Structure 1
Amino acid sequence: MVVVGAGPTGLLLAGDLAEAGIPVTLVERRHAGLSNLSRALVVHATTLEAFDARGIAADLIAKGAPVQSLRLFDTAVVDVSELPTPYPYLLVVPQYETEAVLQARLDRLGVRIRYQTEVVDLRQDADGVTLTVQDADGTREERAAYVVGTDGHNSSIRRLLGVPFPGHTVVASVMLVDAVLTDPPSLRIATNTDGDKFAFVAPFKDGYHRIIAWDQSHPKAESEPVDLAEVREILHATLGTDFGMGEPRWSSRFHSDERQAERYRVGRVFLAGDAAHTHSPAGGQGMNTGLLDVANLSWKLAAVLRGRAGEALLDTYESERYPVGTAVIKGSGRLLRAAQIKVTPARKLRNAAMHFALQRPAVNHRLGLALSGLWIKYWAPIGAHELTGHRAGDVPLAGTPARLFEAMRGGGFVLLAPEDLHKTATEAGVKAAVPTDGGPVRLVRPDGFIAWAADAPSAEEAGLAIGAAGA
């Protein structure tokens, strides 16, 4: 296996493959060392659940600042503290800290990143993929059974495949600033807009705050340095104060596109993360969506490479994740367009409507589910149990381990069932545990979704389900 791109998405995928016993090569164009960028700053509940199942959630939480509510459009407040997850908050943490946690896992698994290595050509046949790579030692060819491009929105793998990436730029000249605020917002996350101008403020754990700001009436080239006077002006115009913003430790400009690759799989080559989809920063979905892409893909690749499933299983990566990418692009786009309303009466109406709607618990809850990714459900065949395709959640278990996410560590499926079905699971090479929630028998995939469920299955039925799932 070759993974191209060592951002968060590639780091998670390489770690999953290595933990499953699959030899993996991870290549990266940039120089050695973690990225000093921190463009992504929010880790949502679904990602923390995935990290928990890998035993690394606590490491990341220790580096971040949990935030349970955020202010949208003047007085409208989204409260995520009641979400159905062990992590009912947004974790504000710089991207480089997320990368550091994922890198530490790779180090423990013995996976090395080959830096300053670029893929310049790609050919595939029925048996594998041949990559032409350039590094400090020159140009050579490498062979792999499968290749995954996690190499960002300018993906060389997507370009070499010839996969179209249709879409357009939705925000130009977005400014990012990490600075200390002497008078931070009372709500830990604050955001507002006056149409052309937009501002977002969120705290890091180390005392710094992330500020995202733009003024679409005066866009500047991405090559221009960030103008702190302009950032302060935008903060005053949208939030009424610059919060005593000091000199930044880091700042940058970028533009934001809404794009989605027309295909996520071409033969033995896959696209994931920003190589497959990009969208506006509204909602903080980008990195999270990419991480969940590879959580879905990694166990399927491992199952096929170990001979436990056929090639058809790999087609379900695109069929499951493409609709999620589409939904995230649409959802972040709706938030962005709401933020870009320029006419003052319309903005006042938007603010009042959002304030009123979010005072209703059901509406607040639905928006929280949308932001966190907890809404995701995968397709289930006709006649399947109603839980099939849903998140399993962190089910309490009898004995040790005491909860599902702990039982999932190390990879593999978990059968939640009475003890009389455990022999069936063991014979099939699947972990088994007794749930204490009174629910039905559930076969939980390595990505935390339910592959199969039944109220009172026989051992034979459970065995057939395990085999059919590629466990």
Structure 2
Amino acid sequence: MAASTFKVIVVGGGPVGLVAAHALTKAGIDFTLLERRPHVVIDAGSNLVLTPVGIPALGQLNLRAPLDAVSSPLGRIDRMDHEGNDLGDVQLFSMMKELIGIAPRVISRHDLTRVLYDTLPSEAQKKIFGNKKLSDITSTPTGVIATCADGTSYEGSLVVGTDGAHSLVRDIMRKLALQNGPSEQVNAEHPFLTTYRCLWLRFQRPANVPEGVTCETHGPGLATQLFTGEDSAVAAIYETMEKPTTERPRYTRADQDALIERWGHIPIIAGEGKLTLREAYNSRQESGLVSLEEGVAEHWSWNGRVVLAGDSAHKFTPSTGAGCNHGILDIAALVQQLNAICSKAPNASPSREAIDSALQAYQEKRRNTIVAECDRSSKATAAATWQNGVFKFVDKYVMPRNAVTRFFIGQAAKGAARNPSPNFNFGSSEVQLGKKEAWTASPVMVRAH
């Protein structure tokens, strides 16, 4: 049983933050969750893909059935070039279903956050507060104080930052490290590099395009991914920027329109239901233009008082759908460590030194996998946008081969034997899966291209 005096302050109520609420509840660790929006259930943002990396872990939190009810499985990936010429389909998702029993599923951010919130016990829901924008973190001899922009403050033992790529927690953690002296380990001010921007848009699923379709358009400088759900379709358009930057560009509606002027003729659905990017944009229900940061922060925690998880610690391009899924496994690894040290001090809060050691062990458990997955996602986006002749050749002539897909799945299975993934079965060191799903004990994900 976790220590009654140990308390976690989770900053950020997106999917990873809500998974943290589930995990901490299961471990018996007290928490408060602070979200800058009015509520954690939001009807905004692009859809997400749950992969065989994250799905088994969510099942350990009894979330698989309710999430299956509001998500759609993905099958064949239909691919074409900028002129609509067939590039050959990729059977990755259907082979995953055939060989391991799990297919990736597409889900709206609204449905994902709604299920994650609604399935929390009522007592846990009472620990979640909206309209709480973080303004500062103060380290004290016994813990931390998180102060919000509205003047309220919350005391705890540890702040967990799940507040995304533009993390305030990460910025404040850096400030605390700098204030603590020149010997402190300090992250770069801008730890992520942006090479691509992404226009995402949601629109009504065309009547002649079935649910569960995945279409991709590849070519020099731009790639698209489209997923169809029960009622809507979501497209992501990845454009190579003029030059990479560590700064955060701010985009407007005019920037979205300008991208459509450049690329509106590109087909995003081929065949009988042919649809161009411009047609989809003109019928959109919602859209946004964002930077696609990439990278892994060097330091994920500070002094046993602050720790990062998910996009706050590492950011991938979305091509492989890995970001949210690896954020889920971050939480599993982190809460495993916290549960272990709390169990050793059942009547008191663990010492700062014990917490710091647990946070270092969490990063050590996850970092190599995360670095490899970040590289894998980057290469997938580079291949889809034909960044050079080698990427173009592999994308056009190697990836459509079923033997290649089977090879990648086999490599993932071998990785599972070497590196079981963290899990939410606290006290167990391995994911408990059926024989057919055993490879998903590895957080390694095969490229989607």
- Same fold, judged at TM 0.5 (above): yes
Task: Quote the Cα distance in structure 1 between the aligned partners of 2:418 and 2:321.
Answer: 28
The aligned residue for residue 194 of structure 1 is 219
1:146 counterpart = 2:158: yes
Higher-helix-fraction structure: 2
Change (3 A) 1:332 1:201: same
C-alpha displacement of 1:247: 1.8
Provide structure 1 residue ranges, at least 5 long, that are not aligned to the other structure: 378-386, 393-404, 417-432, 438-446, 450-471
Q: Which residue of 1 aligns with 2:323?
A: 286
Q: What are the Cα deviations for residues 50-107 of structure 1, in whole angstroms up to 9, with x where unaligned?
A: 1111111010011111113323562141323344886521101112211111101224
Q: Tell me by how many angstroms 1:324 deviates.
A: 2.0
Correspondence for 2:397: 353
Q: 1:46 aligns with which of 53, 59, 78?
A: 53
Structure 1 residues 22 and 39: CA distance shift in structure 2, 3 A: same
Residue number in structure 2 paired with 1:79 = 92
CA contact (8 A) 1:199 1:235 kept: no
| TM-score normalised by the chain length of structure 2 | 0.75
For 1:248 and 1:231, the matched residues in 2 are separated by: 18
Once the two structures are overlaid, the 10-residue window that deviates more, 35-44 or 221-230, is 221-230
The 8 Å contact of residues 42 and 284 in structure 1, kept in 2 or not, is answered as yes
For residues 136-173 of structure 1, the C-alpha deviation after alignment (integer angstroms, 9 at most, x for no partner) is: xxx24432111100011111111011132423111125
User: Which of 76, 89, 105 does residue 91 from structure 1 map onto?
Assistant: 105
User: Alpha-carbon deviation of 1:25?
Assistant: 0.4
Note the alpha carbon deviations across 1:214-263, whole angstroms, 9 max, x for none: 45489996212644965983442895731774722222111111122111
**Counterparts of 1:381-400 in structure 2 under 5 Å?**
389-391=419-421
Where 2:119 maps in the other structure, the secondary structure is helix
Would the aligned equivalents of 2:268 and 2:275 in 1 still touch at CA under 8 Å?
A: no
Q: 2:302 aligns to what?
A: 266
Measured in 2, the distance between the counterparts of 1:131 and 1:116 equals 14
Structure 2 match to 1:106: 120
Identify if the C-alpha distance between structure 1 residues 58 and 235 changes in structure 2 by more than 3 Å, giving closer, same or farther.
Answer: farther
Aligned counterparts of 2:75 and 2:192: Cα–Cα separation in 1: 33
1:212 aligned onto 2:236: yes
Given that 2:10 and 2:34 are in contact with CA atoms closer than 8 Å, whether structure 1 keeps it comes out as yes
> Distance between the aligned counterparts of 1:114 and 1:81, measured in 2?
40
- Name the SS for the 2:288 alignment partner: strand
Q: Deviations over 1:370-404 (max 9, x none)?
A: 8xx87765xxxxxxxxx674259xxxxxxxxxxxx
Q: Does 1:335 align with 2:380?
A: yes
Residues 246-261 of structure 1 mapped to structure 2, 5 A cutoff = 247-261=283-297
Q: Distance in 1 between matches of 2:429 and 2:225?
A: 43
Whether the aligned pair in 2 keeps the contact of 1:153 and 1:278 (CA below 8 Å) is: yes
Alpha-carbon deviation of 1:366? 4.4
Unmatched runs of 5 consecutive residues or more in structure 2? 1-7, 81-86, 175-186, 244-248, 443-449
Q: Does the 8 Å CA contact 2:73/2:212 hold for their aligned counterparts?
A: no
Across the two proteins, how many residue pairs are aligned to each other?
389
Rg comparison, structure with higher value: 1
In the alignment, what sits opposite 1:323? 368
Shifted more, 311-320 versus 275-284: the winner is 311-320
Work out whether 1:124 is the aligned partner of 2:153. Answer: no
**3-state SS of the aligned residue for 1:80?**
helix
Q: 1:212 to 1:436 in 2, by over 3 A?
A: closer
Taking the aligned partners of 2:135 and 2:360, their CA distance within structure 1 comes to: 26
1:223 maps to a residue whose letter is: T
Q: CA RMSD in A?
A: 3.6
CA distance in 2, matches of 1:185, 1:347: 31
- Counterpart of 1:35 in 2: which secondary structure? coil
**Distance (whole Å) between structure 1 residues aligned to residue 101 and residue 135 of structure 2:** 41
Alignment match, 2:246: none
Say which is worse superposed, 228-237 or 106-115, in terms of deviation.
228-237
